[in-house]
Structure 1
Amino acid sequence: MITNVEVDSHGVVDLADHRSRRAGRGRLVSGGAAGPAAQWWRHRRREAANRKERRENMSMYLRAREISKKPVITLGGEDIADVKDIVFDPVKGDISCFTLNGRGLFAGPLKRALLWKKVHALGPDAVMIQDETALEDDEEAVREQLDAPGGGNVLGARMLTEEGTSLGTVTDVIIETGRTPKAIGYEVDSAAEAGQRVFLPVIRPKSVSGEMIVVPDDCADFTAGDLAGLAAAAEGLRRRSREEE
């Protein structure tokens, strides 16, 4: 078993090679070139790093449907509600708040809302809050967002480019998680490939309504076949947007 690696001016010598060399059977890798063992370990490290990056890309984005129905739990362990809908600014992408459903005997829509600024953490299994006082007593904040231009439900809306090319029908909203989560794109039933769903990053849409989302033409050039590829597509769109400013 290799338990140590020595580095000197001649290159890299693992302990096994060092023992063999002392017995007159090994060889020293000179000239700075990596021996087979070092190359193998580098390859394994690269593979591990790539797997970690893929996992991070997958966990970075969530479908809105994956957040809906998550329990809302206090840090004291009290399960007080379920997420019903996510209310967001469709132009800026900022998450405003969650509408809620009750649990148990109080199942059904609650006349209370959870503002994002009151969320302690959005985890893979629950939305965590400090305590029940984090909930708003009325839906005024929600109503302001829904009544604003572009407010309302975007699921089922058609997506068109400025030039009039249909990109498909919105089936979900993609949320970039983190300390300041944003809606950064959409899952779409592709108009170009029947039966296929694609992921489209969207920056500064031209207009948003419950029936139609009009996006810049560049959005059509950056699509992904899955959530893992959305990060690269979003970065490509941002880069082009900066270059055209």
Structure 2
Amino acid sequence: MLARQRQERILEAVRAHGGARVSELVGLLGVSEMTVRRDIATLADRGLVARVHGGATALDGRSADEPGFQVKSAMALVEKRAIARVAAGLVQPGDSVALSAGTTTFAVAEALLGVPGLTVVTNSLPAARLLHDSSREDQTVVLTGGVRTPSDALVGPVAVSALRVLHVDWLFLGVHGMDEEAGLTTPNLVEGETNRALVACARQVAVVADSSKWRVVGLCSMASLDEVDVLITDSGLPDVGQRELSARTGRLVIAPVPTA
């Protein structure tokens, strides 16, 4: 298969699913991982895909595009785990914590397994399953209920009604994009409404988002930057992003990312 043909198939996969992992593309194309990474780099240089750790995602020109949980779960793994470690360090034993849906908040859920006595409220099916399967007797997990989205979130009136009567110490909020004008955004209108209810029930709001989310704008704004108490990201955030987010949020934390 010629390089041009491989790149066309990669582009088709990314556009069809919102993103693609290198491991999946190796199986699809029957070539080496190095070849796939080289093809992704070529497509990124041509402005056709966004190159991320673990694969490629569709460019965020369409604000309603919503990649699925499995596609996003392999992206920026090292950064997400570093962000999650910092997030878990904010939580004290016995706290009540809300987790929004998403792959970064799933990493936070993994990191929280080491904190005793938590009550965790979430609309994330994967996070709820992870916490439930840990069989921690000192941990309470509350799943909001609602209608499932491609990101494995439970959203809608049932979720919003459940959240309106709750009050938690911390919310860890994942986002599709963060921008100085649009604030925190999502491509899903109903998920945006549910996330606003999560923000409203939290005493402190911590956004967990890797640096690729900077200046990405989804269809729906769900909070402004000045509603954020702590924003945790990685060192890939450009200087202008660090200046803007430091000025507009309560506190910006850059998570240390281990080098290979």
> Under TM normalisation by the shorter chain, which class is it?
under 0.3
Greater strand proportion: 1
Task: Give the TM-score normalised by the residue count of structure 2.
Answer: 0.25
Greater helix proportion: 2
